[in-house]
Amino acid sequence: MRFSNTFLDEIRDRVPISDVIGKRVTWDRKKTNASRGDYWACCPFHGEKSPSFHCEDRKGRYHCFGCGVSGDHFRFLTDLEGLSFPEAVQQIADLAGVALPQPDPQAERREKERTSLLDVMELATRFFEDQLQTAQGARARAYLRERGLTGRTIETFRLGYAPDSRNALKEFLAGKGIPREQIEACGLVVHGEGIAVSYDRFRDRIMFPILSAREKVIAFGGRAMAKDAPAKYLNSNETELFHKGNVLYNFARARRAAQGADGAGTIIAVEGYMDVIALHQAGVQNAVAPLGTALTENQLELLWKMTSQPVLCFDGDGAGMRAANRAVDLALPHLKPGRSVRFALLPDGKDPDDLVRHDGREPFDRVLDQSRPLADMLWTRETAGAQFDTPEKRAELEARLKQIVAVIADENVRRHYQQNIRDRLNAFFQASSTGRAPMRGGRGGGGRNAGRGGPGQPALGPQAAGTGVVSDRLTSSGLVRGHGDQPKLREAVLALTVINHPQLLREDYDDIAHIDFSHRDLERLWSALVGEAAHAGHHLSRDYLIEKLEGHGFGPLIRGLDQQIRNARLWTATAEAAPEDAREGYNQAMALHKRTKALRWHKIELEREIAEATEAEDAERVERLMNALHEVHLEGLRLENQDAIIDGFGILSGRVKGAATNSGGH
């Protein structure tokens, strides 16, 4: 019986190779590191007294440095016990709890079709590579040069260019005898109901081939060259070959780098394709990226298959911190002994590409050296920017932390997290009750580095040492706020203006796609809106967006935003506003939003510096920093008093589209 590669990969992934081999050998206690999935024993294939037989769960492979044998689960059973290959597959499938597939002509046909689709994707990759070298690809080549990529790097990652044509790729593949059904099945053209003639999905884009674990091209990412393109980056749609949430960009190459003789030992997850490629060129070859979405559970499992403690690298701005906090919640339930994650936080406004382009890998290596364990990130999230000056607030913090770590499935890891939290809380509350500065380092006590966070990040306690009064002022100013039921007015203005005037998406897609909202429902709404806008093409309109967002369940939120805006008489955000007024209102709200965000991070950085100066007993520096913090506080008060009601709002939209201002509700 012939088994599909998909089935063999599935059962191999479900059963650690050490479970198969461990039934036939005795592991050496001194050399074995079970928490890392690294095992040593005397070789079962030849007689020896010292262990030279090695197996690694992450690789799913074994090798004897004495006699040279090597292989996987199946090879071990066929070579050592003389089983046939089907018998070995049966044994591993039994361990995995998976039934052998029954002979299925349809399944075999699908496997053949899948192989054929891989051939089509390879042809498309070569087409895009060739197009990059043509006259049409000149702008794309120039862009890649501006990003600092060498010809060798472009060749290594097989970068290409999709010409600005509706049918260039389709006609090329058809000329090679590829049937329409296969071109459509690969997701290379847009087709379906309401589309009379299919057309190329990727047009005027730099192309990034996405490879499977077996290093076959299964999808593409495309970076738009046109500034007015609705989506800066566009991925292939879901196909038989490609399921976005199960794939990491650069997976196979990074796995080899991490496990090679000079391996980096871990895997680094960064944001995008260019980050991975720039790091590779700088010598950091063990980086991967999710495909334009937040990290998924399946992608996290892929990381853990490669390393016991991957490093998740996030921008140091608000959006990056929110992504890091989502990753904390994603990882917690799945922690096990020897399996966790660390967090590397980049300086605000920098991405990995920025760090390595001019100075090589050293600045990025420094960021990695300062990476923080998950427990620190959790403590930071729950305590930073808040005060716990009453027994009730302290009890609330304690209850919340206990509830969060209760989701950890592994009993031993959960118990150690509970103890870690007790230690942190005891030190924190003890410091508060004695009038000393509360603990900020989050490592169970004070110490030299107790007040320091990661690069560009807040220190880990609820307020900087010695800054209680100023923190109170900042909190009252509104720079530090929780999530209320109603969004902040400026956030409501930004969201509703874009929904009601989607031409803004065509003009400022990149800025709009990266707006980070403090209100959680708005953040979810924005994720849906950006995704729908990216795929709307020429269908993009207010009615289209409203229909799609209501389909996602955001109808009540949109109606609430509309009522909030009308109550505040901010007509530029309404559907009736003239386009030029909507643009003016959007620009003003965006400027205020960015300024408030910058102030918030300036305040956090000042608090961190005050904590360091207090620890160093540098009274002069503390006073200087406190004065600066007070200025930030005053600026925050001024912004909060405006709260997006900038001069001109409510007046500009005396002009409405095609009519005078609508009365009754306006």
3-state helix, strand, coil in the chain (%, to 5): 55, 10, 35
CB count in 10 Å sphere of residue 601 = 18
- Please report the pLDDT score of residue 261 as a whole number: 41
Residue 262 pLDDT grade (very low, low, confident, very high; cuts 50, 70, 90): very low
pLDDT digits (tens, 9 = 90+) for 65-78: 888 889 999 999 98
Question: Tokens for 206?
Answer: 């730099």
Contacts of 331 (CB under 8 A, 6+ apart): 300, 340, 341, 374
Pairing of strands 311-314, 268-269: parallel
Query: Rounded to whole angstroms, how far apart are CA atoms 538 and 500?
Result: 16
Average pLDDT, the chain: 81
pTM above 0.75, yes or no: no
HEC-encoded secondary structure of 284-299: CCCEEECCCCCCCHHH
pLDDT at 52 over 70: yes
pLDDT digits (tens, 9 = 90+) for 404-443: 999 999 999 999 999 999 999 988 887 655 554 443 433 3
Query: Rounded to whole angstroms, how far apart are CA atoms 514 and 24?
Result: 54
pLDDT digits (tens, 9 = 90+) for 521-576: 898 898 888 878 877 777 889 999 999 999 989 999 999 999 999 888 888 899 99
Helices 619-642, 468-477: crossing angle, 10 deg rounding: 10
Query: Rounded to whole angstroms, how far apart are CA atoms 359 and 645?
Result: 43
pLDDT at 464 over 50: no
Location of each CATH 3.90.980.10 domain in the chain: 105-242
Location of each CATH 3.90.580.10 domain in the chain: 5-96
Residue 506 pLDDT grade (very low, low, confident, very high; cuts 50, 70, 90): confident
- Please report the pLDDT score of residue 74 as a whole number: 93
DSSP string computed for 291-334: SSSPPPHHHHHHHHHH-SS-EEEE-SSHHHHHHHHHHHHHHGGG
- Please report the pLDDT score of residue 109 as a whole number: 65
pLDDT at 481 over 60: no
CB count in 10 Å sphere of residue 464 = 30
For residue 612, give the nearest of 435, 466, 505 by alpha carbon.
466
For residue 277, give the nearest of 220, 348, 356 by alpha carbon.
356
The residue ranking higher by pLDDT, 323 or 633, is 323
Query: Rounded to whole angstroms, how far apart are CA atoms 161 and 597?
Result: 37
- Please report the pLDDT score of residue 37 as a whole number: 86
Residue 469 pLDDT grade (very low, low, confident, very high; cuts 50, 70, 90): very low
Question: Tokens for 604?
Answer: 């956090």
- Given a contact cutoff of 8 angstroms between Cβ atoms, the answer to whether 545 and 620 are in contact is no
The residue ranking higher by pLDDT, 389 or 198, is 198
pLDDT digits (tens, 9 = 90+) for 615-624: 777 888 888 8
Query: Rounded to whole angstroms, how far apart are CA atoms 405 and 336?
Result: 13
Pairing of strands 199-200, 53-56: unpaired
Residue 364 pLDDT grade (very low, low, confident, very high; cuts 50, 70, 90): very high
The residue ranking higher by pLDDT, 129 or 110, is 129
Q: How many CA atoms lie within 13 A of 399 on its CB side?
A: 6
511 alpha carbon, distance to own chain's centre: 18
pLDDT digits (tens, 9 = 90+) for 277-295: 999 999 999 999 998 778 9
For residue 502, give the nearest of 536, 553, 528, 525 by alpha carbon.
536
According to DSSP H, which parts of 519-616 are helical? 520-536, 542-551, 555-567, 579-615
- Please report the pLDDT score of residue 432 as a whole number: 58
Q: Is the torsion defined by CA of 472, 477, 480, 484 positive or negative?
A: positive
Question: Tokens for 557?
Answer: 């939120």
- Strand order across the beta sheet in which 233-235 lies: 160-162, 205-211, 217-224, 233-235
- Given a contact cutoff of 8 angstroms between Cβ atoms, the answer to whether 603 and 458 are in contact is no
| % of the chain beyond a pLDDT of 90 | 44
pLDDT digits (tens, 9 = 90+) for 563-613: 999 888 888 899 999 888 888 888 888 888 878 777 776 777 677 778 777
Question: Tokens for 172?
Answer: 């090329």
**Residue length, the chain?**
666
Contacts of 249 (CB under 8 A, 6+ apart): 208, 210, 221, 273, 276, 288, 289, 290, 291
The predicted model gives 398-405 an average pLDDT of 93
Pairing of strands 160-162, 70-71: unpaired
User: What DSSP element (H or E) covers 220?
Assistant: strand 217-224
pLDDT at 104 over 70: no
Location of each CATH 3.40.1360.10 domain in the chain: 251-370
| Lowest-confidence segment of 84-88, 117-121, 256-260, 477-481 by average pLDDT | 477-481
Residue 498 pLDDT grade (very low, low, confident, very high; cuts 50, 70, 90): very high
The domain 5-96: what is its CATH number? 3.90.580.10
Burial class (CB in 10 A: 0-12, 13-18, 19+), 98: middle
- Please report the pLDDT score of residue 149 as a whole number: 93
Query: Rounded to whole angstroms, how far apart are CA atoms 413 and 645?
Result: 49
Question: Tokens for 19?
Answer: 């479970």
User: What are phi and psi for residue 221, nearest 5 degrees?
Assistant: -115, 140
Question: Tokens for 528?
Answer: 């849906």
For residue 478, give the nearest of 632, 647, 321 by alpha carbon.
632
- Please report the pLDDT score of residue 590 as a whole number: 85
Quick one: fold of 251-370?
Dna Topoisomerase Vi A Subunit; Chain: A, domain 2 (3.40.1360)
User: What DSSP element (H or E) covers 218?
Assistant: strand 217-224
- Please report the pLDDT score of residue 502 as a whole number: 92
Going from the C-alpha of 106 to that of each of 101, 110, 373, the distances in angstroms are 12, 6, 48
The residue ranking higher by pLDDT, 317 or 412, is 412
| % of the chain beyond a pLDDT of 70 | 84
Query: Rounded to whole angstroms, how far apart are CA atoms 651 and 585?
Result: 10
pLDDT at 344 over 80: yes
The residue ranking higher by pLDDT, 457 or 253, is 253
Query: Rounded to whole angstroms, how far apart are CA atoms 208 and 531?
Result: 19
pLDDT digits (tens, 9 = 90+) for 32-51: 998 888 899 999 888 778 89
The domain 105-242: what is its CATH number? 3.90.980.10
Query: Rounded to whole angstroms, how far apart are CA atoms 236 and 292?
Result: 11
- Please report the pLDDT score of residue 462 as a whole number: 30
- Please report the pLDDT score of residue 641 as a whole number: 57
- Please report the pLDDT score of residue 270 as a whole number: 94
Q: What is the dihedral angle through the alpha carbons of 23, 26, 31, 35, rounded to the nearest 10 degrees?
A: 30
The predicted model gives 1-6 an average pLDDT of 74
| Lowest-confidence segment of 116-130, 179-193, 513-527, 626-640 by average pLDDT | 626-640
For residue 457, give the nearest of 384, 408, 403, 407 by alpha carbon.
384
The predicted model gives 119-128 an average pLDDT of 96
Going from the C-alpha of 8 to that of each of 14, 63, 316, the distances in angstroms are 10, 20, 41
